[in-house]
Chain A
Amino acid sequence: NAGVTQTPKFQVLKTGQSMTLQCAQDMNHNSMYWYRQDPGMGLRLIYYSASEGTTDKGEVPNGYNVSRLNKREFSLRLESAAPSQTSVYFCASSEGDSRYSGNTIYFGEGSWLTVV
Chain B
Amino acid sequence: AQSVAQPEDQVNVAEGNPLTVKCTYSVSGNPYLFWYVQYPNRGLQFLLKYITGDNLVKGSYGFEAEFNKSQTSFHLKKPSALVSDSALYFCAVRGPGNNRLAFGKGNQVVVIP
- From B51, B90, B99, B106, give the contact of A31 (CB < 8 A): B99
Interface check A61, CB cutoff 8 A: no
CB of B10 to closest CB in A, whole Å: 12
Distance between Cα atoms of A115 and B108 in the complex (Å)? 26
Inter-chain CB contacts under 8 Å: number = 58
List the B side residues contacting A40 at CB < 8 Å.
Answer: 105
List the A side residues contacting B14 at CB < 8 Å.
Answer: none
Q: Are B100's CB and A45's CB within 8 A?
A: yes
Give the interface size class of chain A: 20 to 34
CB of B107 to closest CB in A, whole Å: 10
- From A42, A107, A109, give the contact of B106 (CB < 8 A): A42
Binding site for A on B (CB under 8 A): 4, 32, 34, 36, 41-46, 49-52, 90, 94, 96-101, 103-106
Binding site for B on A (CB under 8 A): 4, 31, 40-45, 48, 50, 56, 58-59, 90, 97-102, 104-110
